[in-house]
Amino acid sequence: MPSSACSQYKDVVIVGNGPSAISLSVFLSGYRPYFKGGTHSNCYLNEKLQKMSPKKSIVEQDLSFLSEGLEGRSPNPVGLLFDTLSRPDADLGVENPSLLEWKFEKEHAIDHVVLGKGKAGGAWQSMDGSMQTLSFANWMELPSLSFKEWQNSHHRDESHANNGRATIADVRRYYGDFVEERGLGSYFRDQYVVTSVQKKFYTNKDVDSESGEVEPCKCKYKNHSFLWEVRGHCFHGDIDADREEFCYCTPNVVIATGTFDVPNKLSITGENLPYVLHSLQEVEHVLSNNKKKKSQDPVVIVGAGLSAADAIIMALKMKRPVVHVFRRGANDSQLIFKKLPAAIYPEYHNIHSMMKGKTINPLYKAYPNHSLVELRDDNHVLIQTTSGGDILSMDAFCVAILIGACPNLSFLPDNGKNLGIIPRCAIDSKHNPIHVDPYSYQCVAETGLYSMGPLVGDNFVRFGLGGSLGITNHLLLTKNKQIQ
């Protein structure tokens, strides 16, 4: 395996290449959003917008001042600000035009690199393309190119035929095309796996231990007492011999890896047996490869979220019997289905209706208030009521345990546990997101380390993009302070 010295310096290294990372690359490449005029329905925000200098982009504004008082479905005020400027009154169900216009200003470009394990688009590239997005199509779009514009230019079908939602296939094509059409390809590195992000203290006289030469990136530490060292390996082919190590030095690292890397497990006997699956991708693969294999044994699906619902839809389409096991009651107020409008999400409400026994499907059997207790190597499954009652046994074609996922932050010291709102606990987008400054998205615990997207609690693409504005604004402020 060829190795390389840490000789590549970048002003910013972005770990992850999903929509949040793509959005940040747009800003760092030199694109700037300007208020183009018009009236916002929020009188307080509108008054501030009207007083802004039209010669200054939103990146140059006081984000704390502009975002003050905004409310919405994001815990991050800059995420709310960017969303309400891009999609005014979106939560009211209207599709108003953006109040922003985009200009490409090359002089503002910041040298950066985006490192992703797969193609640009992140986790969206591995999802089942026939499924529909949870969000409306225009909520999935990236800065400077609307989803509708992309559809029209690529002769794609209008999403409005599907209640305004897009297919996963179209979303991942949009993200991939976006990178090329906005000229971002030179910043992206596909098949790059980051294995270590560490803080390194040194002077510009540090030398390579083997060659004795001054290491190039360390001559660029400028006003920084340390740089971040980002190491990993990349693939240039299909065999391990084509694997090559890489290393970047940078004053600024952005963690934008999302939260779907490591599936949650039940930690029960037999969970690692071959017929037990933990992701929709695995379910799709197994069902697709066994279309002709007839079996009366059911697909046992565990979980009461949208991934479990998607797996049920997938199995029923293939005429497979389904046993659905979930811990909550079917009428529990915390079920996600209760929060989705039936007119927009009919497929999920049909699943919920089956869970409650209101809709009957001969291929579907629900076991509310039950949990999986043991999996045996003969495909034998044991389930039990959550109150500890009788144990039921059945044979399964396969078992899909779909109970959420957590991020893989193994490349950070102690898996990033020092970065959470609750220190020394595992990072979780719902219960313990990475603790960042609400305006700069810089980690409270580490200077020069930023995070955005689901890792900071923004699980919707539309809000995660606000991190791009906050980070770019902070980099500009930091640069101006160094010049003064």
Please tell us whether the domain made up of 9-188+407-483 is placed in CATH 3.40.50. Answer: no
Beta-strand pair 322-326/299-302: parallel
Please tell us whether the domain made up of 262-405 is placed in CATH 3.50.50.60. Answer: yes
| Residue 156: per-residue pLDDT | 62
Give the three-class secondary structure for 136: strand
| Residue 218: per-residue pLDDT | 53
| Residue 212: per-residue pLDDT | 46
Neighbouring-strand partners of residue 368: 326
pLDDT band at 211 (very low <50, low <70, confident <90, very high): low
Taking the C-alpha atoms of residue 408 and residue 427, their distance in angstroms, rounded to an integer, is 9
pLDDT band at 186 (very low <50, low <70, confident <90, very high): very high
pLDDT band at 201 (very low <50, low <70, confident <90, very high): confident
Q: What is the average per-residue pLDDT within 267-275?
A: 97
**Euclidean distance between the first and final Cα of the chain, in Å?**
45
User: Residue 246, exposed/middle/buried by CB under 10 A (0-12, 13-18, 19+)?
Assistant: buried
Per-residue pLDDT at 221 exceeds 90: no
Beta strands (DSSP E) in 181-252 are: 188-189, 192-201, 226-235, 243-250
Per-residue pLDDT at 226 exceeds 60: yes
Q: What is the per-residue pLDDT across 324-378, written as a single tens digit (0 to 9) for each?
A: 999 999 999 999 999 888 887 899 999 999 999 999 999 999 999 999 999 999 9
In 87-205, which residue ranges form alpha helices assigned H by DSSP?
147-153, 168-181
Q: What is the residue extent of each domain of the chain?
A: 9-188+407-483, 262-405
| Residue 163: per-residue pLDDT | 67
| Residue 148: per-residue pLDDT | 86
pLDDT band at 208 (very low <50, low <70, confident <90, very high): low
CATH topology identical between 9-188+407-483 and 262-405:
yes
Taking the C-alpha atoms of residue 481 and residue 463, their distance in angstroms, rounded to an integer, is 28
Q: What is the per-residue pLDDT across 111-158, written as a single tens digit (0 to 9) for each?
A: 999 999 999 988 888 777 677 787 777 888 999 988 888 988 876 655
| Residue 220: per-residue pLDDT | 53
Q: HSE (CB half, 13 Å, CA atoms) of 252? A: 25
pLDDT band at 188 (very low <50, low <70, confident <90, very high): very high
Instruction: Compute the mean pLDDT over every residue in the chain, rounded to the nearest whole number.
Output: 90
Give the three-class secondary structure for 120: coil
